[in-house]
Structure 1
């Protein structure tokens, strides 16, 4: 793992917290950050969407969860959904950037992430934004009548006045999805959340409302954020992460996504962190209210899922992992 540069500035971390599954994941994130990153000097800001015209049901977290998060050193900052809301909750990671202090470097993490090492040792270059490469070829989807990967992606770069050719990974063959700049939006960073969030929001809204003809047969729900993120990163001079960021999706963070998948495919260290930070009574009394955590962590079903797989020889596709868990009656979300 790359060690922190002496010139790396302090930075803030943002995750989204809202009612339901995400509030319990937020509690685990905060607990794992506190347990494993003692040298982190920034702020952990939990962006919380508020009830309003775009949220008909109350998206705010339970009071007990908020109290536990604050005790763990987190700050809960509300924001108003002006563009996405309940119709596209993935938009929270876009609009929630407004909760961060302008001009201060930030790292966004999806809430379903655990901090398994010292985040302060990661050598971020906040002048060159990047994002997670832990992804599959989920978008765009190959269709009978479509212009191909190049046609789809180039239409987006053209739409927003961006140069396209330098984003290509020429080590990958033409019309293979890995050739094109595509991220998982599970983490991303930049030097200024206000600047990044403004462009991310404007371009996401524009693509949602006025897509190019080349995207006529493509679904943007839930892929809108991941279609726009590469463009935003490229526009600010960023690109694919270098080896200095290997700790992310490595030995410093884990984007597990769902608890059954965590037990099926993640490292022993990730399982250890999950179960350790879920142990203290103040946290446990809240987490056990969420059925998947109750059954998988506290009642031991997670260990049974783990026994179904060889973590060094996993099925190639996530869908195959899910299907095996479901076939054995252990799937929960």
Structure 2
């Protein structure tokens, strides 16, 4: 097993502050033996975020520091407010080179012993995804042509990226990740390639992408290309705990209460029970209502007692219909 990787999250003013507190608290609660660093990248209100209040509050800053987080500023030059998902690409620059890393979206809960996950340095990413991109038009080009055009753009071997257990044109045949977590041995090489290739696709997309939206999908379009180019691929069974019993990418608190198992709820509520954490999180309306007032268990969870839809979209629709989708 490699040395404990550096963990990277991106935090700025607003919702992400509170999610970062939950992540840091859950890390200390569920993985007290984790010896790696938790690095919080904070975009500054300049460059591509010029004119936006991105700095986190002093209360959050102090609480994260007390939970062992290291807050490191960075200036986003290429994406910023026009494409906030680009933060995860540019924030890789704050990590020390040649040290293994794991990026987590801030809306992630640590639910188990992260220190026991055998990261081996091979680049990979989350497989907790749906067939969200591409959406081929009726008369083409299809999945194959779209993904091949991207591999061709960067001189990659397309055939070796395929999962041949799936039929031609089925979305899971093609290398596609959720960017909720990704891992690699060197953030400098990974981050530079991620940035260069994301800018290339954004500014000059291959012709096969003419009918495709890249917002908000750009990071997830380019991520598999970067991973494949660096000798990585789909995660092996040794990383099954990520998006399993070690981490949970919940996305929004109402979704967590709607679909996650009871054990995940127990970890969340135990991790954020300490008074100093509770006092700050209660300033965020979703945490106040769903966690501390018990409405996650009492109001949201019963909406799905008769069965949980397989796909995320109908779950979101039910939550919105019942007034549980606000930040």
TM-score range, shorter chain: over 0.9
How big is the shift at 1:145? 4.4
TM-score, length basis structure 1 = 0.95
Q: Which moved more, 1:14-23 or 1:277-286?
A: 277-286
How big is the shift at 1:328? 2.5
Equivalent residues of 1:27, 1:65 under 8 A apart: yes
TM-score, length basis structure 2 = 0.97
1:306 aligns with 2:301: yes
How big is the shift at 1:291? 1.0
Secondary structure at the aligned position of 2:182 is classed as strand
Whole-angstrom CA distance in 2 between matches of 1:264 and 1:143: 33
How big is the shift at 1:102? 0.8
* Aligned residue number for residue 126 of structure 2: 132
How big is the shift at 1:310? 4.1
* Aligned residue number for residue 200 of structure 1: 194
* Aligned residue number for residue 172 of structure 2: 178
Alignment of 1:102-141 (within 5 A): 102-126=97-121, 128-141=122-135
* Aligned residue number for residue 89 of structure 1: 84
* Aligned residue number for residue 283 of structure 2: 289
* Aligned residue number for residue 267 of structure 2: 273
Whole-angstrom CA distance in 2 between matches of 1:318 and 1:219: 20
Whole-angstrom CA distance in 2 between matches of 1:30 and 1:165: 40
* Ranges in structure 2 where 5+ consecutive residues have no aligned partner: none
Alignment of 1:8-19 (within 5 A): 8-19=2-13
How big is the shift at 1:54? 1.3
How big is the shift at 1:71? 0.5
1:251 aligns with 2:242: no
- Give per-residue Cα distances to partners, 1:145-175, cap 9 Å, x unaligned: 4310001000000001101001111111111
How big is the shift at 1:246? 0.6
1:320 aligns with 2:307: no
Equivalent residues of 1:301, 1:330 under 8 A apart: no
* Aligned residue number for residue 3 of structure 1: none
Whole-angstrom CA distance in 2 between matches of 1:74 and 1:53: 25
Whole-angstrom CA distance in 1 between matches of 2:197 and 2:139: 26
1:49 pairs with one of 43, 49, 52: 43
* Aligned residue number for residue 40 of structure 1: 34
Whole-angstrom CA distance in 2 between matches of 1:50 and 1:145: 44
Equivalent residues of 1:106, 1:192 under 8 A apart: yes
Whole-angstrom CA distance in 2 between matches of 1:110 and 1:330: 21
2:224 pairs with one of 230, 254, 257: 230
* Aligned residue number for residue 59 of structure 2: 64
Whole-angstrom CA distance in 2 between matches of 1:53 and 1:77: 16
1:27 aligns with 2:21: yes
1:214 aligns with 2:208: yes
How big is the shift at 1:320? 1.1
* Ranges in structure 1 where 5+ consecutive residues have no aligned partner: 1-6
- Give per-residue Cα distances to partners, 1:192-246, cap 9 Å, x unaligned: 1111000001100111001000001100000000000000000011000110001
